[in-house]
A and B are shown apart, each in its own frame.
Chain A
Amino acid sequence: MGDESTYLAAGEIAAAVRGGERSAVEVVEEHLAVIAGREPEVHAFNAVGDAQARMAAELIDRRVAAGEDPGPLAGVPVALKDNLCTAGVPTTCSSRILEGWLPPYDATVVTRLGLAGAIAMGKTNLDEFAMGSSTENSAFGPTRNPHDLTRVPGGSSGGSAAAVAAGFAPLALGSDTGGSIRQPAALCGVVGVKPTYGRVSRYGLIAFASSLDQIGPLAPTVADAALLLEVIAGHDPLDSTSIPEPSPSLVAGLDAGVEGLRIGVVAELMGEGVAPDVRRRVEAAAEVLAGAGAKVEEAEVPAVAYGLSAYYLIAPAEASSNLARYDGVRYGLRVDAPTTATMNVATRTAGFGAEVKRRIMLGTYALSAGYYDAYYGKAQQVRTLIVRDFAAAYESFDLLVSPTSPTTAFPLGAKAADPLTMYLSDVCTIPSNLAGDPAVSVPFGVGDDGLPVGVQILAPALAEATMLQAAAVLEDAMAGEAGTP
């Protein structure tokens, strides 16, 4: 764990920098010092942008000195998942296939961070093209869980979650296609939010599965996650699937509590496959919510049982198409061969890792003539059922609760050889992606192994504010409790 001073909340850092009480350069140097201390063992970053961060910090300080307000994240370091495009800075998706590619543009979220005065600290490690749940599928080596270096940080935003947990940056951005923000947040003991689909612009997020991908914040606290989400959310004309709504107000009403809310514990996500110690923490969370005035009952969302199967057809199908462009013709890796077709094959064979290849083949198959109806078509029907079942549940409940991950952080290598076991890590998080609804993972104590457990709170579309209010109630309940990692 890093120096305690680095655990200052992002909001407090920004307030201090805006008020001229702390310099952004100082903030950056403190975090670079923490990184220098632990990054070699954690490997949260593919690249630390120390020089750029220092320069950006100096600019912020000059603006403050000149009487300007650099914005709500003034001087706050933010770690960026390495599938977010940063102009002139390598963006790799932790894949060899993008070797040498420099994006000529910033992702919309990166632009918005800059406009809010935030400082990009570097690009964090991920499962290659965000395909995985442990950050072991990285071409640049795994990231380790800062709470226990023999364990995985979760994935695919494992680098971002580890960076926040290790104090490398007070905030990080991840992307969540089937749980890739929430599951590593749970395993690393931080807050992770998957916003409503379309809430945050995907422009500049290198696509895994376009209809499921969503960028979101990772932070040590609910308030900081809310602050970061406020900055990055809101309509973007560059993303046709972006919701034409202004950025929601989230921080202001965060302490509103859950008095009178109807909260359901999803029965289908509390049974077989969920570790008993994790289940007990969710039950404890339900009691806390009830104690805070919510009406807590069991909820049924039957179709979530088929979520995993539907997801592993839809996501690979879209990925097989999204990843076709890495053909060696225009950018990234090229392995020369006598003809264009053999060059394509040689390049893709050398450039993609095993999991990416597996999903490309799975997706190609699911879309093939003669199989489309049985696989992709059927999966879309399941998706419709899941949307319908959630809508039905939200007629009786304002929010739903479940585990984020069925287990706490598992040892490196434990599931790497068995993709199906690995896929089960996302069983609780996938339904929200299929439904397009928001969900948050909030740390809620530890399991029998002393490692963090995350509780997931699910909400209907656009109800992030209520969802984060409930998360804040759980966070408050844990505050001061012994054993908080």
Chain B
Amino acid sequence: MTEWETVVGLEVHCELATATKLFCACRNAFGDEPNTNICPVCLGLPGSLPVLNRGAVELAMRLGLALGCTVEPSLFHRKNYFYPDMPKDYQVSQYDQPINVDGVLELADGTRVGIERAHLEEDTGKSTHVGGGGRIHEADHSLVDYNRAGVPLVEVVSRPDLRSAEAARAYVNELRAVLVATGASDARMEEGSMRVDANISVRPVDFSTLGTRCEVKNLNSTRSLGRAIDYEARRQIALLEAGEQVTQQTRHWDEADGRTHPLRSKEEAYDYRYFPEPDLVPLVPGDAWRTSVAESLPPLPAPRRRRLAEATGSATAAVAVVVERGLDDLVLAALAAGGDAQRLVVHAEHDLAGGVGALTTDAFAALTRMEADGALTATQAKAVLAELVANGGDPAAVAAALGYEAMAGDALAVAVDDAIAANPDAWARYLAGDTKVSGFFVGQVMRATKGQADGRVVTALLGQRADAGG
């Protein structure tokens, strides 16, 4: 039985967060009244000409440099095909000379995904098909909103380096983080400002050549992306195992039935008749511009994760969450102020999802110090932290106000001994190796100390008593 490997490459279209469109001065805004942000240029009226938006080039460069790409002198081409929401019936895009080439995106788990290119192009308008279930062929009529026509896009094309639905979703999440960090895009899949197409193929695990791929479109969320990859891989494997071939084609993901459906095969693919756009001149960003863009880049997620992991020694998953929440700077500052690395990361990962509120770096550091010193239990620390977030203040004072007396080690030892003495049968079972009983003893001690004992310390004390021979 052949073992199969799924191979995925993604093409992600990202709307750039410019004030104006790619080739005209119309507003680039989502959700405005239809056909209000339009002019002769983005409507492609006869005689109109494009003028490249410098701001869009700068954002494309920011994204490219953040992805480790080389910024190259580039050209615009025309991609010719008829569609009612495309005003000129060609799209101005970059073809064989894109602005950004050859980068890499490092995922949270350390996987490095190659970036083939990240090129500039203009968006199309948006059609709404009225009647016939929203499909163009059965529709009564169609309405077109050209507000989106000419909005700047960067298409980020990955190499086929992804091996699972989960990895593909992680890639999209990571790319979104880079887009947001660089300010290149707000990267909202639900608003269509980030759109993902997936190239999917399968091959026997030990093969290095790629199988025949299908391009799947209409993926409106990372969830759809994952489902579509799993479905498509199963479909292709079934074909191959039945001795059939995978046909290279473009397929449409149907969220409702959870399947992909063929749109057009390679033979039916459009001939886009690309040729250099004669209305624009070559785009050659100068060294000074490139350098200033590179120098203005903020710290990016991957190096931030590396920095936090090194400083705290924490696990990859926790570090990824903390960086995604943007709490890494706080954790590092609190660490420098004397906080406990492990407790800082745990709180940032689990207890600060709603933001830091009135919490100061020093208070955060002091809180975790108290925990590490055994002055507060994990449960108590969580309650104190919530209060610090809500109203600020000093953790020791907050703990005192909440009635969390520091429980001295010997007082706890007495409580443990009392519990053992009061429950000889249970203690015998514990000694016999029934570790479940330790939970019973922890509960007894907790009750006796009104919850002020640290469960881990109780467990440790039980162990010491047992080692001492009961």
Which residue in A84, A107, A364 is a CB contact (below 8 Å) of B273? A364
Chain A residues with Cβ below 8 Å from B50 are 240
Which residue in A101, A207, A241, A376 is a CB contact (below 8 Å) of B275? A376
The reply to whether A238 and B51 contact each other, CB–CB distance below 8 Å, is yes
Chain A residues 72-93 with CB under 8 Å of chain B are 83-85, 91, 93
CB-CB under 8 A for A321 and B273, given A104-B40, A340-B136, A340-B142: yes
Q: Is A440 an interface residue (CB 8 A)?
A: no
The reply to whether B45 and A104 contact each other, CB–CB distance below 8 Å, is yes
The reply to whether A203 and B46 contact each other, CB–CB distance below 8 Å, is no
Chain A residues with Cβ below 8 Å from B82 are 324, 327, 341, 344
Q: How many A-B residue pairs have CB under 8 A?
A: 97
The reply to whether B46 and A367 contact each other, CB–CB distance below 8 Å, is no
Alpha-carbon distance between A85 and B271 when the two chains are bound, in angstroms: 32
The reply to whether A203 and B271 contact each other, CB–CB distance below 8 Å, is no
Q: Is A56 an interface residue (CB 8 A)?
A: no
B65 CB → nearest A CB, Å: 25
The reply to whether A103 and B47 contact each other, CB–CB distance below 8 Å, is yes
The reply to whether A367 and B273 contact each other, CB–CB distance below 8 Å, is yes
The reply to whether A103 and B78 contact each other, CB–CB distance below 8 Å, is no
Q: Which of B46, B47, B52, B273 has the most CB of A within 10 A?
A: B46
Q: Which of B47, B84, B136 has the most CB of A within 10 A?
A: B47
Which residue in A85, A329, A339 is a CB contact (below 8 Å) of B47? A85
Chain A residues with Cβ below 8 Å from B52 are 240
Q: Is B55 an interface residue (CB 8 A)?
A: no
Chain A residues with Cβ below 8 Å from B136 are 340
Interface string of B131-142 (1 = CB under 8 A from A): 000001100001
Alpha-carbon distance between A369 and B270 when the two chains are bound, in angstroms: 10
The reply to whether B51 and A237 contact each other, CB–CB distance below 8 Å, is yes
Chain B residues with Cβ below 8 Å from A344 are 82
Q: Is A325 an interface residue (CB 8 A)?
A: yes
Which residue in B43, B49, B90, B142 is a CB contact (below 8 Å) of A202? B49
Report the nearest B residue to A367, measured CB to CB: B273
Q: Is B457 an interface residue (CB 8 A)?
A: no
Chain A residues with Cβ below 8 Å from B392 are none
Q: Is B326 an interface residue (CB 8 A)?
A: no
The reply to whether A107 and B47 contact each other, CB–CB distance below 8 Å, is yes
Q: Is B48 an interface residue (CB 8 A)?
A: yes
The reply to whether A206 and B40 contact each other, CB–CB distance below 8 Å, is no
A212 CB → nearest B CB, Å: 8
B69 CB → nearest A CB, Å: 25
CB-CB under 8 A for A103 and B271, given A241-B279, A324-B80, A324-B82: no
Alpha-carbon distance between A369 and B275 when the two chains are bound, in angstroms: 11
The reply to whether A325 and B87 contact each other, CB–CB distance below 8 Å, is yes
Chain B residues with Cβ below 8 Å from A239 are 49, 51
Alpha-carbon distance between A450 and B281 when the two chains are bound, in angstroms: 46
A123 CB → nearest B CB, Å: 13
Alpha-carbon distance between A156 and B48 when the two chains are bound, in angstroms: 21
Which residue in A84, A103, A211, A329 is a CB contact (below 8 Å) of B84? A329
Chain B residues with Cβ below 8 Å from A211 are 278
CB-CB under 8 A for A240 and B281, given A325-B89, A330-B87, A367-B80: yes
Which residue in B46, B49, B274, B278 is a CB contact (below 8 Å) of A325? B46
The reply to whether B275 and A317 contact each other, CB–CB distance below 8 Å, is yes
Alpha-carbon distance between A107 and B44 when the two chains are bound, in angstroms: 14
Q: Is B227 an interface residue (CB 8 A)?
A: no
Report the nearest B residue to A329, measured CB to CB: B84
Alpha-carbon distance between A237 and B275 when the two chains are bound, in angstroms: 24
Q: Is B180 an interface residue (CB 8 A)?
A: no
CB-CB under 8 A for A330 and B43, given A240-B279, A241-B279, A325-B87: yes
The reply to whether A327 and B47 contact each other, CB–CB distance below 8 Å, is no
B75 CB → nearest A CB, Å: 13
Alpha-carbon distance between A28 and B40 when the two chains are bound, in angstroms: 32
Chain A residues with Cβ below 8 Å from B271 are 368-369
Report the nearest B residue to A239, measured CB to CB: B49
Q: Which of A91, A202, A238 has the most CB of B within 10 A?
A: A238
Report the nearest A residue to B279, measured CB to CB: A210
Chain B residues 68-113 with CB under 8 Å of chain A are 78, 80, 82, 84, 87-90
Chain B residues within CB distance 8 Å of chain A: 40, 43-52, 78, 80, 82, 84, 87-90, 136-137, 142, 144, 271, 273-275, 278-281
Given A103-B40, A206-B46, A240-B279, output 8 extra A-B contacts at Cβ < 8 Å: A85-B46, A103-B47, A105-B47, A240-B50, A240-B280, A341-B82, A344-B82, A367-B275
Chain A residues within CB distance 8 Å of chain B: 83-85, 91, 93, 98, 101, 103-105, 107, 202-207, 209-211, 237-241, 317-318, 320-321, 324-325, 327, 329-331, 339-341, 344, 364, 367-369, 372, 376
Q: Ordered nearest first, which 5 A-B pairs have the shortest CB separation? A: A324-B89, A211-B278, A367-B273, A210-B278, A206-B46
